[in-house]
Amino acid sequence: MRRSKAYRPRKLCDPRPGKKLLVLDVDYTIFDHLTPAESVRQLARPFLHEFLTRAYVSYDIAIWSATSLTWILAKLAQLGVIPTNSAAILRNQQLAGESGDPRSPRTSSSTVSETRTSQEADQPVDETGEPRPPFKVCLLLDSSDMISVNFPLHGVKEVKPLAVIWDNHPQWGPQNTIMFDDIRRNFVMNPHNGLRIRSYRDAHVNSKTDRELRGLARYLELINEYETDFSTLNHNHWERYISKHRSRKSQKRSLKDTDGCSHLHGEQVTSKPDQSSASGMNLPANQPMTVTPSSDGETGADAQGEVKTDQADSSKGLGEPDLK
């Protein structure tokens, strides 16, 4: 693909070995870009930073928007998704490339990580005093990385072929890449790797009820744990997938509780036989018990509550009971 050959990486950090790839759109996916607001962060989709933090544990993150890199940098920096100094460096590189400077990011594979000193990267806050987020965006792609496709009903539209990334970063492929976008046609070239997210609009109205990113964070965690090939999944049913695993977990917990109760009910407590007599008196071991009859026909135990034992009497012979 010619687009893949023309692609030059714009990396904010190096890919991490063994991590899967999450590709995110910007407008209406993580950001409502048309609703008026006093601050850009008021238009961020709810739980955005929580979502990126959870995803970053197992995924490297790429941002691919159908706008120019200049707008991507401005939005992401104000949303707190990328450090502002990274945005400034890439913005300068982009402007230099548009003016014909050979140091353009299209012809240079240098990264922001290479231009930033290690001391700056280790700082807990950026140059504006804002704390650095606990996640990093690895790659940035813009409208120039898209290709044109002729749709019979809609005409020519720009789409996002993931092969642009896969051909240049062989550690990722259909088996370990997933893309979130609010426009389904954007992943028409890779339909088994795309998940159509619900559009986030009217932020002032929907900010208190939108839970999309929180649910998708859980979905990413589950497929990372249980799936070896993302392209075999139907990502349209991601909520059903979460419910299935939740039900399976509940069933396992119920079975475990049932087994525990059955084990407890099946236990029998055993004790040694008591060697004491019915009256509570201790008897010598292996000693037979003799009950003394009373004069009215009742046993001595019934009449007087008295129990006596056989004892040898030298005057009456061995084993003869002493009856009185």
Burial tier of 275 (Cβ tally within 10 Å: 0-12, 13-18, 19+): exposed
Put simply, whether the predicted model's pTM sits higher than 0.75 gets the answer no
Predicted confidence at residue 11, as pLDDT, reads 87
Give per-residue pLDDT as tens, 19-65. Answer: 999 999 999 999 998 999 999 999 999 999 999 999 999 999 999 99
Residue 245 CB coordination number (10 Å): 17
Beta-bridge partners for 308: 290
CA–CA separation, 147 and 5 (whole Å)? 13
Which tokens is 204 given? 């002032």
Ordered DSSP codes for 75-141: HHHHHTSS-HHHHHHHHHHHHHHHTT-TT-TTT----HHHHS-HHHHT-SB-TTSPBPPSS-EEEEE
What is the helix (H) or strand (E) element at residue 180, kind and residue range?
strand 177-181
Give per-residue pLDDT as tens, 287-322. Answer: 544 444 444 444 444 444 444 444 444 444 444 444
Using CA atoms, how far residue 244 sits from 221, 223, 238, 311, in Å, is: 14, 12, 10, 78
CA–CA separation, 262 and 266 (whole Å)? 6
pLDDT, mean of residues 201-225:
96
Residue 180 CB coordination number (10 Å): 23
Give per-residue pLDDT as tens, 148-206. Answer: 999 888 889 999 999 999 999 999 999 999 999 999 999 999 999 999 999 999 999 99
CA–CA separation, 205 and 32 (whole Å)? 12
What is the helix (H) or strand (E) element at residue 177, kind and residue range?
strand 177-181
Which tokens is 96 given? 């230099």
Predicted confidence at residue 72, as pLDDT, reads 92
Backbone angles phi and psi of 48, in degrees to 5: -60, -50
pLDDT, mean of residues 75-88:
85
Give yes or no for residue 225 having a pLDDT over 50: yes
* Residue carrying the six token digits 């290690």: 118
End-to-end CA distance of the chain: give it in Å, rounded.
119
The closest of 196, 104, 181 to 146, measured between CA atoms, is 181
Choice between 310 and 81, residue whose per-residue pLDDT is larger: 81
The answer to whether the beta carbons of residues 186 and 23 sit under 8 Å apart is no
Residue 105 banded pLDDT, cuts 50, 70, 90? very low
Beta-bridge partners for 64: 141
Predicted confidence at residue 157, as pLDDT, reads 92
